[in-house]
Amino acid sequence: MKQNLYNYILGIADNSLILGQRMGELCGHGPSLETDIACTNISLDLFGQVRSYFQYASKLAGDGRTEDDIAMLRQEREYVNVLLVEQPNTDFAYTIARHFLFDVYHLLFLTELEKSKDLTLSAIAKKCIKEVRYHERFTSDWMKRLGDGTAESKAKIQEAINDLWTYTDELFHQTKADKAMVAEGIGVDVTKLKDAYYEKVNEVLTEATLETPESKYFQKGGKKGIHTEHMGYLLAELQYMQRAYPNMEW
């Protein structure tokens, strides 16, 4: 099996999986019907992406592991999403800030992945870009509404951005699989996305009349499977049925 490619796909897909799970939590609890529909729709997009990636990974594994086995039956230490996406829905400001900080990266990443020599990954990226472009527009618009809305909303979204800032740097860390795939022309060199990322984030924050945090202290670990304390609870729900009723079809 192409182990590096398999691991590389997990690195991409786990972000969508865990963020999709977080957005799914909000269904029926949004601040307005329109935002509720949007958040559910974004969650739906992300899980659709996850299915494309894991179906491909399942084929590569070739050992009978299904997309669901890969999504729901790993141990916590085997999930390699970035810490950012597993952060909880503390309130709507955190939800939007977390998603915005990921979307800007996600769009830059997919734009590069579309050029991958791996035709399957390139095709998946092409499909996902359309969705993620909308996600980025949605969260950027909300950054502006909350930042330049009321004094209360400004304070809340600024606090969320400040708190989540510490998880942004990890987006640009490379794993062993990343490096191997970059060398083969399959993977994206995320280190090269960093400047464009902070530039875009800064642009939106400025328009939202918010301050770009200056902190240089960052957290990392997700890409190596070392997660925050939130992750176990998220996985408990995600894996509940597969763990409680093993080896069944649904």
Partner 1 sequence: MSPERKATIMSEEQIKNLEKQFEERIARDEKIEPKDWMPEKYRKTHIRQMSQHAHSEIVGMLPEGNWITRAPSLRRKVALLAKVQDEAGHGLYLYSATETLGISRDEMYEQLHTGKAKYSSIFNYPTITWADMGAIGWLVDGAAIINQVPLCNTSYGPYARAMIRVCKEESFHQRQGFEIMLKLSNGTPEQKEMAQDALNRWWWPALMMLGPTDAESVHTEQSMKWKLKRKSNDDLRQQFIDQTVPQADILGLTIPDPDLKWNEERGSYDFGEINWDEFWQVVKGHGPCNKERMKARVGAWERGEWVRDAAMAYAEKSQERKKKQVI
Q: Smallest distance from the beta carbon of 102 to partner 1, in angstroms? A: 19
Q: Is 148 in the site for partner 1 (CB under 8 A)?
A: yes
Q: Is 145 in the site for partner 1 (CB under 8 A)?
A: yes
Q: Smallest distance from the beta carbon of 125 to partner 1, in angstroms? A: 19
CB 170 within 8 A of CB 218: yes
CB 190 within 8 A of CB 171: yes
Cβ-in-10-Å burial (0-12, 13-18, 19+) of 114 comes to: middle
CB 56 within 8 A of CB 120: yes
CB-nearer residue toward partner 1: 32 or 75: 32
CB-nearer residue toward partner 1: 22 or 181: 22
Region binding partner 1 by CB under 8 A among candidate stretches 20-28, 119-127, 158-166, 176-184? 20-28
CB-nearer residue toward partner 1: 188 or 238: 238
Question: Within positions 29 to 48, which residues make up the interface with partner 1, using CB under 8 A?
Answer: 29-37, 40-41, 43-44, 47-48
Residue of 227, 231, 226, 224 lying closest to 178 (CA atoms): 224
Q: Smallest distance from the beta carbon of 140 to partner 1, in angstroms? A: 13
Residue of 214, 183, 186, 184 lying closest to 198 (CA atoms): 214
Q: Is 50 in the site for partner 1 (CB under 8 A)?
A: yes
Q: Which of 119, 214, 215, 245 binds partner 1 (CB under 8 A)?
A: 245
CB 49 within 8 A of CB 131: yes
Angle at 48 between CA 106 and CA 5, to 5 degrees: 65
CB-nearer residue toward partner 1: 146 or 193: 146
Could you give the CA distance from residue 79 to residue 12 in angstroms, rounded to a whole number? 11
Q: Smallest distance from the beta carbon of 153 to partner 1, in angstroms? A: 3
Structure tokens at 87: 């952060």
Region binding partner 1 by CB under 8 A among candidate stretches 126-134, 147-155, 176-184, 199-207? 147-155
Give the DSSP H or E segment for 126: helix 119-147
**Which residues of the shown chain bind partner 1 in the complex (CB under 8 A)?**
21, 24-25, 27-37, 40-41, 43-44, 47-48, 50-51, 54, 67-68, 71-72, 91-92, 144-146, 148-150, 152-153, 156, 237-238, 240-242, 245, 248-250
